[in-house]
């Protein structure tokens, strides 16, 4: 069976394409670098991360982008022997403006080097590129209306001002011909995320509506002409959980249609898995896949009936599902980061970390504060489970309290918990906790163990355990310096049980105030500006 979500953890806005026997899904990465995650499958059941194509400064520079900005809603397509990826780099979040710039990059294959971007427009976000059967190409995006009272934390319908369509000339590399608003959306409002496909002479348009919270939906419409007018699906929404709070997959919307070589129909969508009692989706917006059927009326429906997505759906054929490993330990022995890790915003990672400075270690160079929008030494991986444990070993010798390095459960600048090694004027080297449990907009830290706990000399093991809405930190002196050794000291809990549920979309500001996901990782900052290094021996992620 296909078990949803197929891409667990922060993997929203899934755009899917099939090329021969191969399926690819591109998802949004927002402020995390490199940009756009592309997963691959040949059976729709097992998926592997194979590429993050936006990997150099000429393609993407997000320094200064606010939280939850950056790369929104990519669209991956294939035509004329090459792959096309369109995406938005959003430069503003709060207030009336979005400053959303849309680009196209291309490549001969998924694993090839992708081109420098071609700028398209800035009229709105969530772009897509449709390749018609007559060879023409069409660019779509939602139109953003800044004149309304729509602010980042409280979206209003009028700001989402319909879906724009214009022809794209791949030779001239620009938009040509008339620009038309082809679809205002349904009464649900907040229309975005457009994708077009063609079947039996009909142009089918799917969009996301209702905002990316609990009112989210996939809305469907069709027309005989690409520019409309479009008639609405008999049920309006193909996929939604908005009227079904009991459904396991909530916040369901924003996806794309795909067919197997045999013509079986599937549709991706983003979703969330809320935890009681506050219904916070601590894994962020994830990717799910639903099996669909075409009925005699020429409309697409979920195979299981109704709009509510299923946890399990039938794959195209018999296939064995490969379970994710319970433990993933990385020892930083290679010249590149392990594939699950990313950093924030900057296209100059050499200023943040090195895998060569001390062989077998990840060296982080202390840069700006934990929560900076510019240059922050934080290397982390997605939280993919409601219950997990993370461990690392850090060798760090601070000479001022302005230097801190350690382990963090991180969402953004106002939603984070961190266990760090630092220096205290009286206690010497200490381990302490820095926490910001949703204090928006100020981002004030709290220090649950005050000045911290004094440390012996040498490397320190740090750990955290997350169990649904609870987080607990642990530490111990490392045996044999930075070696594995034997006779490890017992883990010592430090500080109170913290609110892990706040490290979520719904935490702090609320469900529309941010929409990325929780990460577990390593950090170092040095606000003295001296770039004090911290060496991390390994990182362990363990499902519980």
Please work out, in degrees rounded to the nearest 5, the angle formed at the alpha carbon of residue 531 by the alpha carbons of 528 and 333: 150
From 192, 375, 465, 511, the catalytic residue? 375
Task: Give the torsion sign (CA, 184, 30, 86, 144).
Answer: positive
Segment 393-432, tens digit of pLDDT: 999 999 999 999 999 999 999 999 999 999 999 999 999 9
Check residue 479 and give its pLDDT: 82
CA distance 416 to 503: 6
Check residue 153 and give its pLDDT: 57
Check residue 454 and give its pLDDT: 97
Contact criterion met (CB below 8 Å) for 220 and 300: yes
> Which secondary-structure segment (H or E) carries 160?
strand 160-169
Closest C-alpha among 539, 521, 212, 537 to residue 383: 521
Closest C-alpha among 116, 19, 5 to residue 76: 19
Segment 324-347, tens digit of pLDDT: 999 999 999 999 999 999 999 999
Concatenate the DSSP letters of all residues of 392-453 into one string.
EEEE---SSTTEEEEEEEEEETTEEEEEEEEEETTTEEEEEEEEEES-TTT---B-TTTT-E
Please work out, in degrees rounded to the nearest 5, the angle formed at the alpha carbon of residue 228 by the alpha carbons of 225 and 234: 105
294 conformational bin, left if phi > 0, alpha if psi -120 to 50, beta if neither: beta
What is the chain's Cα-based Rg? 23
Neighbours of 205 (CB within 10 A): 24
Check residue 481 and give its pLDDT: 47
Spans of the chain below 70 pLDDT = 150-156, 480-487
Active site residue 167: no
CA distance 466 to 472: 7
Phi, psi torsion values for 156, nearest 5 degrees: -115, 150
Check residue 512 and give its pLDDT: 87
Closest C-alpha among 217, 220, 319, 203 to residue 260: 319
- Is this structure's pTM higher than 0.75? yes
Check residue 480 and give its pLDDT: 59
């Amino acid at each position: 069976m296909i078990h949803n979500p197929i891409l667990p953890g922060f993997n929203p806005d899934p755009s899917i394409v099939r090329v021969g026997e191969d399926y690819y899904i591109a998802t949004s990465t927002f402020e995390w670098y490199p940009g756009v995650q592309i997963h691959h499958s040949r059976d729709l059941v097992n998926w592997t991360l194979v590429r993050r194509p936006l990997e150099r400064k000429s393609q993407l520079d997000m320094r200064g982008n606010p939280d939850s900005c950056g790369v929104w809603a990519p669209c991956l397509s294939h035509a004329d022997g090459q792959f096309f990826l369109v995406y938005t780099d959003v430069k503003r979040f709060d207030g009336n403006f979005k400053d959303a710039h849309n680009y196209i990059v291309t490549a001969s294959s998924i694993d090839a080097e992708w081109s420098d971007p071609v700028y398209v427009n800035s009229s709105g976000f969530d772009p897509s590129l449709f390749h018609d059967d007559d060879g023409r190409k069409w660019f779509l995006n939602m139109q953003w209306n800044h004149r309304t009272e729509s602010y980042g934390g409280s979206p209003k319908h009028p700001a989402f001002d319909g879906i724009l369509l214009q022809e794209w000339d791949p030779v001239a590399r620009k938009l040509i011909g008339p620009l038309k608003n082809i679809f205002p959306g349904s009464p649900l409002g907040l229309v975005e995320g457009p994708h077009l496909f063609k079947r039996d002479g009909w142009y089918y348009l799917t969009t996301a509506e209702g905002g990316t919270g609990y009112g989210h939906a996939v809305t469907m419409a069709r027309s005989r002409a690409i520019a409309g007018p479009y008639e609405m699906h008999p049920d309006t929404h193909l996929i939604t959980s908005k009227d079904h709070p009991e459904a396991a997959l909530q916040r369901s919307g924003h996806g794309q249609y795909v067919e197997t070589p045999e013509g079986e129909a599937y549709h991706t969508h983003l979703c969330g898995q809320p935890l009681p009692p506050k219904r916070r989706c601590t894994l962020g917006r994830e990717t799910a896949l639903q099996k669909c059927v075409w009925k005699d009326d020429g409309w697409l429906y979920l195979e299981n009936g109704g709009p509510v997505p299923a946890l399990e759906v039938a794959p195209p054929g018999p296939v064995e599902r490969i379970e994710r490993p319970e433990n993933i330990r990385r020892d930083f022995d290679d010249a590149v980061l392990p594939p699950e890790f990313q950093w924030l915003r900057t296209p100059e990672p050499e200023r943040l970390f090195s895998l060569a400075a001390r062989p077998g270690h990840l060296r982080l160079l202390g840069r700006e504060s934990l929560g900076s929008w510019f240059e922050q030494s934080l290397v982390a991986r997605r939280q993919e489970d409601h219950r997990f444990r993370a461990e690392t070993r850090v060798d760090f010798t601070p000479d001022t309290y302005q230097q801190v390095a350690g382990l963090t459960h991180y969402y953004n600048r106002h939603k984070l918990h961190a266990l760090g090694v630092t220096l205290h004027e009286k206690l010497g080297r200490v381990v302490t906790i820095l926490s910001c449990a949703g204090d928006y907009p100020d981002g004030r830290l709290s220090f649950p163990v005050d000045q911290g706990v004094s440390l012996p000399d040498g490397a320190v093991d740090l750990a955290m355990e997350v169990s649904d809405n609870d987080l607990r930190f642990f530490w111990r002196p490392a045996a044999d310096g930075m070696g594995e050794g034997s006779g490890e000291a017992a883990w010592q809990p430090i500080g109170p049980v913290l609110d892990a549920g706040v490290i979520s979309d719904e935490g702090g500001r609320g469900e529309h105030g941010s929409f990325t996901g929780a990460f577990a990782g390593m950090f170092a900052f040095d606000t003295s500006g001296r770039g004090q290094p911290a060496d991390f021996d390994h990182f362990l992620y363990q499902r519980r």
